[in-house]
Structure 1
């Protein structure tokens, strides 16, 4: 027990807590405990002292076994957690720039940069992507973690910044790697959607090896390949309808789209193509009974593709241009049916952690070092740099993003019999780099300005050069200088007016995702120091308590002290009450401070080029932005636990106050029309700040400490194990109720529509109910996922609000164990082929049927077969 207590104390160390694994025999015993559904699950996060059960922990913790993970027909760890943890949500966004490849998620309604992710109780490095909307979240990419490598997952649903460091505001997710000394497993799974598309193949395996008598080496690998789906209709809107064009045009337009299961549409909506290979290893070796070496790491490569919005003639990109010889050229000559830019991303991720741990009497230590790197490299095809006109290439390398972290940690613990005192130090160096793209991807060609060849005078008459091209037969008409008319779609001139092409100004950079120019490339770095102390133990036979204090000092944000207290009181052997109170601190990441992007968004339900600029840079500063500040949080929980034989129940209320919350401001309109008021002022500010191509930008935004929020809710988790002559049955119910409200006036940064969507855009109620029944060699698992109602507004006057009804998604899987080694299973995800309500507002334009950011899956039913070999 003493060794257990010290080991667990170090495991719970902050921001990379000490011990990464228990000794092999003890860890294997715990793994067996976790995998047996009839035994109470044990967690090592959230409390000091010996590992505690989920009902005796002073804070709410979910423990998911390897069997739980394998019973979900997803290869992406994000989707696995979404299926099993009601308070964890993620959506599929096919047109979301880098979010197509690295998807941001939420825990308890807060973005993933408010959740700390650990592997073997060590901090996991962040992904290279900064989400360009919302909070600009930059968290670890859970998709790089294969299920085959995981022995268990612990989800701590409580603020724990004082225990585990910055980011642990909404909670902590700890992935415990397998540590087997022998044996292993192999699995192969294939599935397809009811629509006949989206084929998915996943092959994974794990093998354990003994290192002499006192060590282990466990290696896991996974390969997955998912094909695209299509859940939209042909692009047909009031401003342009493909179906109204000639047969020749339609054929040419569809040829530029993405073909999915025999269907070709100019605007594909659905799951993108993706594939990846992921490898994890975990190792440990006991030098003697008191000293152990350990290490683990990963390497993964993945790639995916997506599309941007369809570019139709006259949309501001496909426009007539007056070439140097006076002739007229249009991108239609490259793309006769318009074009849909295609976006490709390659993600590389690797990490290495090593350490030495040991104990001398009642004193234990853990010295560790960690390195993590994540990079995403972009490629665009099927597009142009409009400002280059007929000299533009049609594929581009817009640049790379990378995030790098190095951390050194020293953790110590002293066992004082009834109490455990833990303390430690940490140093973290992190950097975020934006690598510039190829010049053509950001180059401002001649057509980024009006009359680039000097054909017309300021008085709108031909110059000598203009007269020469007219003499050669050009249709040049300098007197036709109508500028920036507003057409019936409510937007600036899109080619309908009589403006002569000599005055036409078009966008700069690879259309869809302009490359990173030298002005917006570079490395953003910082370092930080931390020191913590923690004490926990049994104050009496019925009362367990813990307290933690942490000091952090950031080179770019100064220092902060946070704390936490938590306790559980066991009224009887069956019932207990628990509570916690703590403060948190999260410094904006270097990526959030430095990221920039120009992409197509829908601020008013219509696609326009929209620029995101760093809050501390000259562009955003010219528009009124302020330097980012740290976010501060206060977290309170109060819960009840019950353990009545084969029935367990936990009910936990939580309240999270988040001050100075970082979020993107509402998109600010930009216009070159002097009569457009503030929009014209924004254009002048952009131009004065040196933004190349400011004339082609229709909106701009940036991140700010925009407001305070209160996130409040209740988690209910119940399990019941039933044994009978007809087999064993496990019933599980998990319910999350969550609300989010402003605690300050957000109107300075948020328009009315964004305020409404922020508070109402997610279901308040989410539940997961499952039944697992086994009889002899057969097992059947059923799961019901429930999503409550939610609302979305389409305009700032809030005249159009859509209510999305509740949804039930039903999964079922049957498995047969052929012998001790082989198991086969077949299953269906979303058996009744349920979909969320179709969108009825402008935000679901452009061939889209369902809101692409819906947290309710909109791919429909999916069936699969799986083969597993354990050896």
Structure 2
């Protein structure tokens, strides 16, 4: 049996960890039987002077941040609350410079699930954990770029979090194939009593984007030995508009000379028609901006100690969220709104539904839920165990409004349900740890080992028939009015006799018009493209760690994984931390990684409007392993393999100053990425473009005539990512209160070391290496005096360069300047329970440089800019702790 004293110590040590705050002083060690050290740790924690402790990266053995062999950020509950965002993605972006996420106003599913990066690596290369257990992936596969498919972090409300641990190092050998760039572990609240409630309201300086967030947490005791903590969050935000009027050389809303023949006599008449016909801004036909969104999330975390040997636990979540954005404006006679000749010989165009053109509205409803159950404890022989099972599901259901299926002509609806994407995961996992006394070591040798089985599936659920139907007008002369020699058939002569203007000798007559297939903007998933992709995998790992001497900590791990679709792989890692003195230390790691493409990345299909050469084009994404992509030259996907190197230094001074500096390099082999878009044309004189069209026709693609570009994912190239993370903290008492400073900086550079396919054009290659800021930094100052707290934060973004000219040897380039966005907030503790906070983000209303390329069509700023383009935002927050 476990000794009563040992159990009591475990409880006290857990308390010490839960109380731990900013790391300013030296490490506190507690020997297994040394209660005095534990009591000292608790006292230090209560005084706010203990170092933050982490378990992520050390497989069950808690270590202080500076004594961890790899860099880990620990974000406590009070730090999470100090950020004025409600979206957990934005909170991490604010507090962790190497984590980046941007708001994409017009990016299909990216409108709802925002792509993020850690150390320049995409979402699917960062493992996300909740309470140390893998979080299931979202159903969305980001089209274009890396095609990443990772968990939707926005479904995790910040009100449910006790701490967040961000391990900035490859950890595939410890946690699994997704952990190439690092690991983010969200620790849920585990309070047995009390709770909190927060109401947050704000809007942008422009008077739009009004946002309301209501969140709360309540803890309950389950008898004398258990807890249940429930957290809920509701958020609702309005759209923003940062646009100018649609005006291009080929069509300008404010220039009557570009209006169609059946247009309007004045701009006012014209605008009145498109405003009444389109669900768009009353000022702009193309209102670029942040989409509207609404979300409700509920999390629970529960545990119950059955005996000294057994603790049961469970946690889970349910999130329902929706968002709605707008696609490109379809101006009259743009190829989508064209005359067709009906069965009676008359002509019809969608202008009879939308007199001023239309802007498709794209909406998505996300339903996400998960549950984990498990048991953990310690056997008489000292073996600790943790056995768990989890289930997670994420579903996105799409809706298209204010659009048409052009091929259906006058029979088209204007509301479509293109289908749904569903990702499901089931996993059983067992983890074990045991200490062994090794006389030569300064501490027991921790031996961790475990195994898991995971079953995952990805499904494309078909849409309603009208969303993908190849209607009557998807072919030339559907009613058989004309002969091949340009004369009218008997049917054609019949409609002419009834007054039709049919002219079979005129190649531009509407009878020959071939219209696009499917709900325009986002065609639905037809039976041909629908289906389910699934696989299972097994994994086993071992992990050894110990303080070899009083100054040297070493850790090594190996992991074997076997996938039903990609075979097996063995990866490993070694890491260490050496304390040069009590104040200075050095740490380093070397590891290999392996990431198998997800079922979603292998199976996703999409046809959407993109701008490969600056103009809107219907572009098709097809599975690399499918017949369509194969006809275009694609090869089936294979796993990515990585090698990680880190070298870091830590310093901790009695004055309250602490610093860490970590250098890293990530070599990624066979990196998966989307090829540069291949042009498609039904014109026989266009060479390779026509060959691509014929390949689509031969593969049975309906409406191939309306597709202007195609692409697919491939193992494109080998890359090298190099960078540096710097973090420093300093806090001190002064006559005016207590003041603390935190500065974090990240430098990150990516380069292509081996282009294996040649499928990247010059523009895409340049932008991959130069299109993001290499420098990113955050400086936060916090001052507390009496019942007031003042927080100021500066967010720095370095310069970066974007290019234009897909096939040019010499590219046009635009360099975007450095930007600093300042945040400021003031809090007042009204009572012991209630706090009022007012403040602003980007208080000087700063904007990034206006874009020269990949803008237009009403867009002013690059929509993929990592620097926010919404301007200043002010807010007020009332919070209550009880």
- What is the TM-score normalised by the length of structure 2? 0.93
Taking only aligned residues, the RMSD between alpha carbons, in angstroms, comes to 1.5
Q: CA deviation at 1:57?
A: 0.6
Cα gap change, 1:193 to 1:25, in 2 (>3 Å): farther
Q: What corresponds to 1:817 in structure 2?
A: 829
Q: What corresponds to 2:420 in structure 1?
A: 400
Q: Which of 611, 615, 618 pairs up with 1:609?
A: 618
Q: Distance in 2 between matches of 1:450 and 1:28?
A: 75
Alignment of 1:347-746 (within 5 A): 347-360=366-379, 361-417=381-437, 418-481=444-507, 499-645=508-654, 646-745=656-755
1:796-835 deviations in Å (ceiling 9; x for gaps): 3243111100100000110011121111110110010000
Q: What corresponds to 1:780 in structure 2?
A: 790
SS at the partner of 2:20?
helix
Q: CA deviation at 1:24?
A: 6.8
Q: CA deviation at 1:34?
A: 3.4
CA contact (8 A) 2:716 2:755 kept: no
Q: CA deviation at 1:408?
A: 0.1
Q: Distance in 2 between matches of 1:467 and 1:48?
A: 82
SS at the partner of 2:274?
helix
- What is the TM-score normalised by the length of structure 1? 0.94
Q: CA deviation at 1:259?
A: 5.3
Q: What corresponds to 1:250 in structure 2?
A: 271
Q: What corresponds to 1:490 in structure 2?
A: none
1:88-107 deviations in Å (ceiling 9; x for gaps): 11111111001101111111
Q: CA deviation at 1:72?
A: 1.1
Q: Distance in 2 between matches of 1:25 and 1:474?
A: 90
Q: What corresponds to 1:493 in structure 2?
A: none
Q: CA deviation at 1:274?
A: 0.3
**1:219 aligns to 2:230 (yes or no):** yes
Q: Distance in 1 between matches of 2:815 and 2:3?
A: 55
Q: What corresponds to 2:851 in structure 1?
A: 839
CA contact (8 A) 1:729 1:772 kept: yes
Q: CA deviation at 1:419?
A: 0.7
Q: CA deviation at 1:290?
A: 1.8
CA contact (8 A) 2:277 2:353 kept: no
Q: CA deviation at 1:49?
A: 5.9
Q: Distance in 2 between matches of 1:529 and 1:457?
A: 63
SS at the partner of 1:250?
helix
CA contact (8 A) 1:257 1:264 kept: no
Q: CA deviation at 1:212?
A: 1.1
Q: What corresponds to 1:229 in structure 2?
A: 240
SS at the partner of 1:319?
coil
Alignment of 1:96-135 (within 5 A): 96-135=107-146
Instruction: Give the count of matched residue pairs.
Output: 835
Say which is worse superposed, 31-40 or 568-577, in terms of deviation: 31-40
**1:31 aligns to 2:18 (yes or no):** yes
**1:343 aligns to 2:369 (yes or no):** no
Q: List gaps (5 residues or longer) in structure 1.
A: 8-21, 482-498
Q: CA deviation at 1:252?
A: 1.4
CA contact (8 A) 2:126 2:180 kept: yes
Q: CA deviation at 1:50?
A: 3.1
CA contact (8 A) 1:158 1:170 kept: yes
Q: Distance in 2 between matches of 1:344 and 1:768?
A: 34
**1:771 aligns to 2:797 (yes or no):** no
Q: What corresponds to 2:39 in structure 1?
A: none
Q: Which of 171, 184, 187 pairs up with 1:176?
A: 187
Cα gap change, 1:619 to 1:259, in 2 (>3 Å): closer
Q: Distance in 2 between matches of 1:693 and 1:715?
A: 50
Q: Distance in 2 between matches of 1:240 and 1:53?
A: 62
Q: CA deviation at 1:721?
A: 1.1
Q: CA deviation at 1:29?
A: 3.4
Q: Distance in 2 between matches of 1:799 and 1:664?
A: 21
Q: What corresponds to 1:492 in structure 2?
A: none
Q: Distance in 2 between matches of 1:25 and 1:511?
A: 62
Q: CA deviation at 1:460?
A: 1.6
SS at the partner of 1:592?
helix
Q: What corresponds to 1:491 in structure 2?
A: none
Q: Distance in 2 between matches of 1:337 and 1:284?
A: 60
